[in-house]
Structure 1
Amino acid sequence: MKANWHRNTLIYQIDPSLFFDSNGDGRGDLKGIIRQLDYLQALGVGALWLMPLYRSPFRDAGYDVSDFMALDPRFGSEEDLRQLIVQAGERGMRVILELVVQHTSDQHPWFLRARRDKDSVYRDYYLWSDTPVDDGNQPIFPSVEDSIWQWDEQAGQYYRHLFYRHEPDLNLANPRVVEEIERVMVHWLELGIAGFRLDAASHLVEQAGGGNEEQGVWVLDRFYKCMTRINPEGVLLGEVDVDPERYSHYFGTGERLGLVLDFWVNNHLFLALARGEAEPLQRAIIRRPAPPDGANYAVWLRNHDELDLERLSEQEREEVMQAFAPEQDMRLYGRGIRRRLAPMLDGDVRRQALAQALLLSLPGTPIVRYGEEIGMGDDLTRPERLSVRTPMQWSDRANAGFSSAARLAAPVIDEGPFAYTRLNVEGQLKDAESLLSRARQLLLARAELNEVGDGKAQLLTVDHPAVFAIAHVCEASSVMLANLGKDTVTVRLREMDLEGFEEMLSDSPYPATTQSGLTLHGYGYRWFRRVDSKQ
């Protein structure tokens, strides 16, 4: 096993309930993921990030946990999870579990005991008040919840909930609560997992500090020490939606989060795509601090939530909205877009491949959401964020090859340009020009470029605003260019001579590089690597 493996891997995000149903009950499961491991290996995937598997009422896709120590039966048994870890490991893949500890379900035994008895030790597991308190926080889902405080008749007090009212916030300043979480971590780490994705990490840190982020980072120190006692190479991947200057609190010197989900760069990547200009992305990369040794940023295009654009100015946010969510029904919570990447880019295979090439060229560990490699669409008839949570489209057979059941965990997309009959894994595997074929080529190539994770990134100056150019230098060196515009352009690199480099990948064949410059087709990309680079 390799230390700091998370700096140079491809993470594939799976919603277990929507990936593959092995037993015909209409819901995806762990055995279903095991069946598709060869497919994931062929994509160059190095780690699987599984969305919540714990017991839950499933009012919030499993993020409302009622028992952290048990798998929900719909997904299978602990033996199934153990088998997934073993069989993924045989293919060079690790497994990361979601750790949802900012809140619990209101059906969790801790909360049921807390509301029953004011003198119970569990009362202080949550945040209570006789009157709603303005602590500066606003509801995370403002169109659904109008307050972060909910009156509880049985308790005779208000409890705080930053998220849904059925998800009371844990009091993470209470050492007993942190000890409970450490027991949860130990349980799953001993099963063989490679780490956790910390949901709402910035909120849980603030809660641990009584509202003060800098005082709350002790909880990350604790989680890291707990994890590395059992798995010294384990990683904590944190959801940290804050200004980039605050990332350093979450990294520490590398003994807190090993990977920080970089919303700052994600927002500016979409601003760059909306404008067809590289400058917003360049600006974002320049502003974010360098991660400490052994740590890294995690970068992605779309995830399971809305595309939250809070890191942009109001004017920039509206610019992205106009480009990618012109209709009100495509927007959510007054800040984000509830669409998948493919419909945002009009289903254009070239633009989607360009976006993926751009992502894979960034300094950071890339995350691909299931179905992004085939350009899956969304279902805007579903409420809130459920629009981007539909079953994986494996084939043009019934239920997109996801399940043999009559009733599914979520409806498949069966109409329009993104219907499973038109767009699925099986069909795209047979087409050399499909998005899947292009994505596989990109992902497998990126898996060979250790300098992107381990090296020093250098933004390169080119003489066209649509072109993003970056070099990664370590023992090996690579140069990656992406044209965010629709027109063919020819550019020169000012800081770097490509003599001694060879082209390793491009969107289509190009003539040999000449003194006159590098040509890039509209939405084109080209990757070069120094010929004498060590592998």
Structure 2
Amino acid sequence: MTSTSSTQQPAPSPPKSNKLPEAGRTPAAGGQDDRPWYADAVIYQVDPNLFVDSNADGRGDLVGLTQRLEHIRELGATCLWILPFYETPYHDGGYDVSDHRKVDPRFGTVGDFENLVRRAHELGLRVVIELVVQHTSDQHRWFQEARRDPSSPYRDYYVWADEPEESDVEPIFPGVEDSVWEWDDVAGQYYRHVFYSHEPDLDLSKDVVRREVADIADFWLERGVDGFRLDAVPTIMERTRAADPTDDGLWWLSEFRDHLDAGRPGAAIMGEVDEWPEKYADYFGDNRRLNLILDFWVNNHIFLALARNDAEPLVEALRQQPEPPPGARYATWLRNHDELDLERLSDEEREEVYAAFAPEEEMRIYGRGIRRRLAPMLEGDDRRIAMAHAVMLSLPGVPVLRYGDEVGQGDDLSRPERTSVRTPMQWTDGPQGGFSKSDDGLAAHLITDGEFDYRRRNVVDQAREADSLLDRLRDLVHARRAVPEAVNRAYHPVDVGVPGVLAMRHDGDGTSVLMLVNLTPDKVVARAPEFSLDGAQEILVDPASKGSGRDGDGLALAGYGYRWIRVGV
């Protein structure tokens, strides 16, 4: 094989202005088409509260995030997904919004946000923010006025009842909330809350509420954002369905899509859709509804495959998914800011994943998921962590990286519920891990013991080490971006004779790329007789597999190794 690895190339130079391509389009390799910008994106999810503290108050902020955008760009990401920074009592990580048009003072100002977007665009990074409109905080002015005055126009913004009503709606957090109804003494009625009792549900069956949502989106589009991650989409649809059952309530996504296109063509909607795969096509709506669907189905089966050291569960899950319409994509990820929700697995499959990655009860949550970060689940083994990312990056769709996973950050199981996976970014081995200069405590405790101690795992140290986890993930992301075939969605799983190897073939114009990932700890030889290896070009190989290559008519892979090659057919 001839080595033409792209992983040694520097990150793309930043554009000379902050003007990104018109109408949200991005020229493809060679300028042959104008795919929407998100079609070949690599997304980096960041919690502004936990990334960088610029003013020594112990909490991360937008100025600090702006100061570290180069790290995100150098990792190879092309899009920044920012968790909530709106005004909030902060009882639910900022998802309890008390004003959608204000930046909470702990994070900075609207001007700080505008500077962040401007700088991100200068570096070629798109910006996607959370649109949290299924509920508000009970401290929101709308709710406070609604509860005090039955004749207030805001009374219609929420869901009220004289007595708890029977429905199919159940608490999102079983074991924490026993009911979706909460009595309010001031209002003299019950209000509904699918999430926490301090987060009353907005009633999107009402025209006035849907107009508010459109106005909120406009406010942030005017400040330069490139799209939204729409929280809790199926729950929102329950209310729009109550207004009009047409298309199962999904008509509102089309309405909202049209509204965005009228003001900012190309603005993306990435939806949190924890549903069965047969429903995905309706949520895409011929790319006239959601542009990106966060793919819980594949996410669940990635972990089932990892638990079994067998690629078949993942391959079968891909076969069962509907093809997204042209221009739309699935967004794939390993871990995010919530629990690893395993509801798309059978009871028996879920127990397999529990046994592999959450053997102790304190590691599990809500009777359905795991509250651990990726690195502890994989026992801090950098080979396995890199392998898991190679799996994700081998799949069709838009990959989503999570802050801290690039250095293998751990979790803090002493923290309640999902906050166990929300700890400060580990930048250095110095005081407060380089996250803050505060002497008065941090937004969350740094991890200070064991394998995941910030003095053992941090960005600065790993940046100095060849073949560190940070180095491997940077190579993986840049290699993925250098493979245009991988974003064309002309892909096929390949049988290479080894159940523990995921083999994905991505086809381009007269070219094919074969991405091999070994899910097992053992050295294997993958054979793909449909390909000619003569003259094959090596794109990327993991450090342990570098010393081997052709093995007769096959390709050798070290334990947890990966190899991407451009081949003849």
TM-score by length of 1: 0.97
What SS does the corresponding residue of 2:191 show, helix, strand or coil? Answer: strand
2:137 alignment counterpart:
105
1:251 alignment counterpart:
284
Q: Deviations over 1:111-161 (max 9, x none)?
A: 111112222221111111111122112211011100011111111111111
RMSD: 1.4
What SS does the corresponding residue of 1:481 show, helix, strand or coil? Answer: strand
Quick one: distance in 2 between partners of 1:462 and 1:94?
Answer: 38
Quick one: distance in 1 between partners of 2:357 and 2:453?
Answer: 20
What SS does the corresponding residue of 2:451 show, helix, strand or coil? Answer: coil
Work out whether residues 490 and 518 of structure 1, in 8 Å CA contact, stay in contact via their aligned partners in 2.
yes
1:82 alignment counterpart:
114
Q: Give, in angstroms, the shift of residue 530 of structure 1.
A: 4.5
Q: Which has the higher contact order (CA 8 A, sep 6+)?
A: 2
> What percent of counterpart residues are identical?
53
From 425, 435, 445, the equivalent of 2:469 is 435
Work out whether residues 518 and 562 of structure 2, in 8 Å CA contact, stay in contact via their aligned partners in 1.
yes
Q: How many residues align?
A: 532
Runs of 5+ consecutive residues of structure 2 not aligned to the other structure: 1-20, 27-34
Matches within 5 A, 1:191-340: 191-210=223-242, 214-340=247-373
Matches within 5 A, 1:330-369: 330-369=363-402
Does 1:381 pair with 2:418? no
Matches within 5 A, 1:486-501: 486-501=521-536
Work out whether residues 269 and 281 of structure 1, in 8 Å CA contact, stay in contact via their aligned partners in 2.
yes
Matches within 5 A, 1:427-466: 427-466=461-500
Quick one: distance in 1 between partners of 2:499 and 2:160?
Answer: 53
Does 1:168 pair with 2:200? yes
Matches within 5 A, 1:11-50: 11-50=43-82
Quick one: distance in 2 between partners of 1:291 and 1:109?
Answer: 40
Q: Deviations over 1:191-213 (max 9, x none)?
A: 11000000111211222112969
Runs of 5+ consecutive residues of structure 1 not aligned to the other structure: none
What SS does the corresponding residue of 1:501 show, helix, strand or coil? Answer: strand
Quick one: distance in 1 between partners of 2:487 and 2:249?
Answer: 29
2:5 alignment counterpart:
none
Work out whether residues 43 and 443 of structure 1, in 8 Å CA contact, stay in contact via their aligned partners in 2.
yes
Q: Deviations over 1:25-70 (max 9, x none)?
A: 1111111111111111111110000000110000000000000011
Please tell me the residue identity of whatever aligns with 2:524: V
Q: Give, in angstroms, the shift of residue 510 of structure 1.
A: 4.0
Matches within 5 A, 1:385-400: 385-400=418-433
Q: Deviations over 1:449-480 (max 9, x none)?
A: 22212231111112111011001112353110
Quick one: distance in 2 between partners of 1:319 and 1:282?
Answer: 18
1:521 alignment counterpart:
558
What SS does the corresponding residue of 1:92 show, helix, strand or coil? Answer: coil
Does 1:469 pair with 2:491? no
Q: Deviations over 1:6-32 (max 9, x none)?
A: 110110000001000111111111111
Work out whether residues 455 and 474 of structure 1, in 8 Å CA contact, stay in contact via their aligned partners in 2.
no
Moved more, 285-294 or 73-82: 73-82
1:418 alignment counterpart:
452
Q: Give, in angstroms, the shift of residue 410 of structure 1.
A: 0.8
TM-score by length of 2: 0.92
Quick one: distance in 2 between partners of 1:232 and 1:494?
Answer: 45
Quick one: distance in 2 between partners of 1:390 and 1:514?
Answer: 44
What SS does the corresponding residue of 2:115 show, helix, strand or coil? Answer: helix
Quick one: distance in 2 between partners of 1:460 and 1:213?
Answer: 41
Does 1:131 pair with 2:163? yes
Quick one: distance in 1 between partners of 2:549 and 2:413?
Answer: 45
Q: Give, in angstroms, the shift of residue 226 of structure 1.
A: 1.9
Q: Give, in angstroms, the shift of residue 230 of structure 1.
A: 2.3
Work out whether residues 532 and 567 of structure 2, in 8 Å CA contact, stay in contact via their aligned partners in 1.
no
Work out whether residues 502 and 518 of structure 2, in 8 Å CA contact, stay in contact via their aligned partners in 1.
yes
Please tell me the residue identity of whatever aligns with 2:525: T
Quick one: distance in 2 between partners of 1:249 and 1:494?
Answer: 38
What SS does the corresponding residue of 1:504 show, helix, strand or coil? Answer: strand
Work out whether residues 195 and 227 of structure 1, in 8 Å CA contact, stay in contact via their aligned partners in 2.
no
2:6 alignment counterpart:
none
Quick one: distance in 1 between partners of 2:535 and 2:320?
Answer: 31
Moved more, 136-145 or 376-385: 136-145
Work out whether residues 549 and 556 of structure 2, in 8 Å CA contact, stay in contact via their aligned partners in 1.
no
Work out whether residues 357 and 442 of structure 1, in 8 Å CA contact, stay in contact via their aligned partners in 2.
yes
What SS does the corresponding residue of 2:242 show, helix, strand or coil? Answer: coil
Moved more, 2-11 or 211-220: 211-220
Moved more, 210-219 or 198-207: 210-219
Moved more, 331-340 or 199-208: 199-208
Q: Measured at CA, do residues 92 and 156 of structure 1 come closer, stay the same or move farther in structure 2, by a change above 3 Å?
A: same
Please tell me the residue identity of whatever aligns with 1:71: V
Quick one: distance in 2 between partners of 1:51 and 1:234?
Answer: 18
Q: Deviations over 1:365-390 (max 9, x none)?
A: 00000001110000000000010000
Q: Give, in angstroms, the shift of residue 181 of structure 1.
A: 0.7
Q: Deviations over 1:478-512 (max 9, x none)?
A: 11010101111112114433444311101131434
Moved more, 383-392 or 523-532: 523-532
Work out whether residues 395 and 426 of structure 1, in 8 Å CA contact, stay in contact via their aligned partners in 2.
yes
